[in-house]
Chains A and B, each alone.
Chain A
Amino acid sequence: SSELTQDPAVSVALGQTVRITCQGDSLRSYYASWYQQKPGQAPVLVIYGKNNRPSGIPDRFSGSNSGNTASLTITGAQAEDEADYYCNSRDSTTDHWMFGGGTKLTVL
């Protein structure tokens, strides 16, 4: 069955740039969307589509897509960006949705 693969953990120095990736065959048909989740809180949409940010999401968050890989980039990471990040898309064969396993971002 289709799945989305993310690195379990990534770290970045304060103010530096970090890229979180997501791989899966479904990304050849659907854009990935990206969600930030902090402990004890519900997920929050941070990037959707080709490279779109919902209102209120800082412009240091950006997204890109190429083939079966989607990326979330944080340019100038801040302490408040420390969180779990999940990618999400849909399997065009089964119409089932799926999430990546999540990437825990640590800001050093």
Chain B
Amino acid sequence: EVQLVESGGGLVKPGGSLRLSCAASGFTFSSYSMHWVRQAPGKGLEWVSSISGSASDIYYADSVKGRFTISRDNAKNSLDLQMDSLRAEDTAVYYCARDSSPVRIFGLIQDYFDFWGRGTLVTVSS
């Protein structure tokens, strides 16, 4: 059974740092790209960052680029998100999600987030 469990959330002051982790189990972690997705209180889902299985490809949303760093440890089946220079607008529940792996079907690419963790709450406030 695929399981993703986030940890590391909490209360932090503006300008501070926090490191989130996602513990993965039930699948060959190194074979899958992984994502961080966040949801501010009462708002919609926002993609934050992605990392390929080998960590060779990394992407960030413009809203976090230069402040957040995604990484993974395939030996420990762990995904991390280092968040620096935090702002009030970074307050959200942060989810890790597994990528299904892209497949081209009938001319379009099929790719999706097939498993999600329960999330961890990050609150940025003075």
User: What is the size category of the interface that chain B forms with chain A?
Assistant: 20 to 34
- The contact of B110 among A43, A49, A97, by CB within 8 Å, is A49
Other A-B contacts than A30-B111, A33-B112, A99-B46, 10 sampled, CB-CB below 8 A, are A31-B110, A35-B113, A48-B114, A50-B110, A54-B114, A94-B59, A96-B47, A96-B61, A98-B47, A99-B45
* Whole-angstrom CA separation of A34 from B40 in the bound complex: 19
List of 4 A-B pairs having minimum Cβ-Cβ separation, nearest first: A33-B112, A49-B110, A97-B47, A48-B112
The B interface, classified by DSSP as helix, strand, loop or mixed, is: strand
Which residues of A lie under 8 Å from residue B114 when comparing CB positions? Answer: 45, 48, 54
* A90 and B111 form a contact (CB under 8 A): yes
Q: How far is the CB of A27 from chain B (nearest CB, A)?
A: 8
* B108 and A43 form a contact (CB under 8 A): no
Contacts from A to B (Cβ < 8 Å): 1, 28-31, 33, 35, 37, 42-45, 48-50, 54, 65, 84, 86, 88, 90, 92, 94-102
Residue among B35, B44, B47, B61 having the largest count of chain A Cβ atoms under 10 Å: B44
Contacts from B to A (Cβ < 8 Å): 35, 37, 44-47, 50, 57, 59, 61-62, 95, 100, 105-106, 108-114, 116-119
Q: How far is the CB of A72 from chain B (nearest CB, A)?
A: 13
